[in-house]
Structure 1
Amino acid sequence: MMAILAGAAGVLVVAFLGWGLYRRPAGAGAVPVPEGTRSRSRAQPQPPALTESSGAEAGEVLQAGLHALALLPGIGSAQATGAQDATLLAAVAAALEAQDWSARHLPRRPQLLPQLIQTVNDSDASARSMASIIGQDAVLTGNLLRIANSPVYRLQAKPVDSLQRAVTLVGTEGIRQIISAVLVQPVMQLHSDAFPQFGTVVWEHALLASRAAADHARLVTHEDGFAAQWMGLTQGLGAALVMRHLLDVAREQGVPPSPQLASTLLDAWTLPVASRIAAAWELPPSVHQALLRDADATGGGLAASLRFARAGASASLLCRHGRISQAQALALLEQLQGTPAHALQWIWRRLHGRAVETLDADESAEA
């Protein structure tokens, strides 16, 4: 236990330095980027310079960018001191380590989850039969239609106004992804005055990561796309639970959590917590094992798909919010090992479609 806390404290120091570099003042000058990737929009922040062998750095840059976006403090939020952060870090790490991770202490498993998993694992099951599962619940039906009309999934200008039309437009694989997301979203609802954007950004990231993981698994690692999709959603649940623990402990101690501390805890605990959720919810064993392997940064096809998906989802969100251009996002993703250029381009087009706008109008028109 002491080793975990000591290691976490060391990570906190590094994170403070990294956060300061990423959030450098506008007047400090542009951070260099790889040759040929400079955006035509000079108002956008620039990612750190990368080398050909810096795949791990690229993932870290995108993760830091995601955290900077999700952890923007609320207006008038108080800032914790370094000593307060260290105290909070130890308390939250201890709470997470001591947490009873049995199913009764985790967010309630969606009631329709076992039925959904059985249906999607049936090769003869149609998208219509999967949609009928959601049709059993009016609230889930409404959420399904809302997500089907979101920029992530919407394929035409005309709104999707029925389950049957959602099935027709989105297709079998798309409806599987949407249904899974609908089941998970209620568990991820999180409001924070300290970080008002966190819940929305993490939910959007989970949706994008689930889609990218499924595509990457089918195209690149030749793994189970449905299992990969659930990994993308479950890592979002892990992030939400880590934040919930941080906010609870901060409230008990009367200390405001800092963005740096939150980022450190998310880096250290999101995937371990996600793996425990997967086990408690009795998701396919491959999901649980891949989350554990990804947390250890070791091999495995599903783990590789998850690493790519988390980076790709972060890149897409940073583009959507005008933090980086598409050229910069692709330059970062190209540094990740194991994804051929043609596969990267194909997944990126599906992940970051025409419905997504960036601050660089020229690049949006060329996409």
Structure 2
Amino acid sequence: MSGILAWISGKLFSGRHAPPDTVSRKTPAPVPDSGTRGDTKDQGPLEKLEDHLYCWLLDTGPRQLNEPSDLTARVVREIESRLENNALEELPRQPLTLPTLMRTLGNESTTRKEVAGIILSDSALTNQVLSVANSPFFKVGDQPVETVEQAVFLLGLDGIRNVASASVMRPMLAARNSSEALFTQRVWRWGLTCSRASELIALTRHEESTSYFMVGLLPALSYLILRREVQRIFKRKFPDRTPSAHTYHEVMRTFQWQTARKVARAWHLPARYHALLLKNPGYPDPDAANSPLRDGIILGTREALRDAHQRNLGDDELRALLSLEPKQLEKVRHILVRLLSEGLGSR
């Protein structure tokens, strides 16, 4: 298993890690030729949780998820080649205002007026910020936020940093057509839940939290990028076929973290963002057992699935996976449950 939950746990990689922008040809992506990934009763809790996530995102069942396709290995090799050669066609360009926004928000001396000015300089970003600021996930109080200045005042600099990050990402995770509407709704919901969980956990540990929020959204974007790459491959090479759940599954679980690092590099995100993705200049950190990002993605995944009435983990299994004190866990869970129940997007 090489998916996002396995990566962040650092326990299922057996010491093998790919460089940040390549996938070694000496260790090709594992793709089963026949059978399934095994009986779920033999899986560990992280494997189960991740399979439950893919079933929900892809709107499929465990049998379809693990039923081999004769095209999966070929598609995986094509994605591998595209990553090695920086040839992903669906990798989004850096948002125009992102560099200035990241620099300004990362400066401790930044004023609220400066933040509002940058947001207002981009009409599309302005609209997104007001939309996100009024969502249940960020809204403060019962009154609608009608201006950027009001949003900055009510949310404060830390709050507006997260709203700005979500606002930059939201258009990229919007559906292009009806066929991907359900997937984009669910992956956005999952991404926001994981990023908010990571941020809240960082706050409980008195760590800088904004970078955890932004990085927590990157896996969601990488899933959509890879889904669209698969569709492009099928349209060109296998026009009479449609991708199976198994093909999507194998591509996403194998390449999502490499793709997330590609996005971070292409967007020139600040060094502290890269530090969460890299152990050193080139390798993911398998020993981050106490990372807010690790715990945030696990907890966010569990709560998003639980809210959507999907299979997930029991409380005892969840507590055993996290490095949170019981009071910390309950505090963060309480906030996530409230945000999800108040309508964090469509299920």
TM-score, with structure 1 as normaliser: 0.73
Q: Is the 8 A contact 2:31 2:72 kept in 1?
A: no
Write out aligned runs for 1:121-270 (5 A). 121-191=106-176, 196-220=181-205, 223-252=207-236, 253-254=238-239, 255-270=241-256
Residue 277 in structure 1 maps to residue 258 in structure 2: no
Deviations 1:47-69 (A, max 9, x none): x79xxxxxx93333332222111
What secondary structure does 1:9 align onto? coil
Write out aligned runs for 1:2-81 (5 A). 4-5=27-28, 7-10=29-32, 13-15=35-37, 17=38, 21=40, 57-72=44-59
Residue 299 in structure 1 maps to residue 283 in structure 2: no
| Greater alpha carbon shift after TM alignment, 272-281 vs 340-349 | 340-349
What secondary structure does 1:314 align onto? helix
Q: Match of 2:273, as an amino acid? A: V
The 1-side partners of 2:288 and 2:272 are apart by: 10
1:107 aligned to which of 82, 87, 92? 92
Report the alpha carbon displacement of residue 202 of structure 1 after superposing the two structures with TM. 1.2
Report the alpha carbon displacement of residue 182 of structure 1 after superposing the two structures with TM. 0.8
Q: Is the 8 A contact 1:237 1:274 kept in 2?
A: yes
- Distance 1:80-1:283 versus aligned 2 partners, 3 A rule: closer
Report the alpha carbon displacement of residue 81 of structure 1 after superposing the two structures with TM. 11
- Distance 1:320-1:154 versus aligned 2 partners, 3 A rule: farther
Identity of aligned residues (%): 22
Q: Match of 1:96, as an amino acid? A: E
Point out where structure 1 has 5 or more consecutive residues left out of the alignment: 22-47, 50-55, 74-78, 359-367
Report the alpha carbon displacement of residue 288 of structure 1 after superposing the two structures with TM. 2.7
What secondary structure does 2:321 align onto? coil
Partner of 2:74: 90
Partner of 2:335: 350
The 1-side partners of 2:242 and 2:335 are apart by: 39
Q: Is the 8 A contact 1:119 1:130 kept in 2?
A: yes
The 1-side partners of 2:120 and 2:82 are apart by: 39
The 2-side partners of 1:296 and 1:72 are apart by: 30
Report the alpha carbon displacement of residue 297 of structure 1 after superposing the two structures with TM. 6.1
Partner of 1:26: none
Report the alpha carbon displacement of residue 112 of structure 1 after superposing the two structures with TM. 1.0
Deviations 1:302-356 (A, max 9, x none): x82222222222122213322269xx66444312232222222222223232661
- Distance 1:270-1:341 versus aligned 2 partners, 3 A rule: same
Q: Match of 1:318, as an amino acid? A: L
| Greater alpha carbon shift after TM alignment, 150-159 vs 114-123 | 150-159
Point out where structure 2 has 5 or more consecutive residues left out of the alignment: 1-23
Task: Number of aligned residue pairs: give it.
Answer: 312
- Distance 1:174-1:330 versus aligned 2 partners, 3 A rule: farther
- Distance 1:110-1:195 versus aligned 2 partners, 3 A rule: closer
- Distance 1:11-1:195 versus aligned 2 partners, 3 A rule: farther
| Greater alpha carbon shift after TM alignment, 95-104 vs 170-179 | 95-104
TM-score, with structure 2 as normaliser: 0.77
RMSD between superposed Cα atoms in Å: 3.4
The 2-side partners of 1:206 and 1:319 are apart by: 15
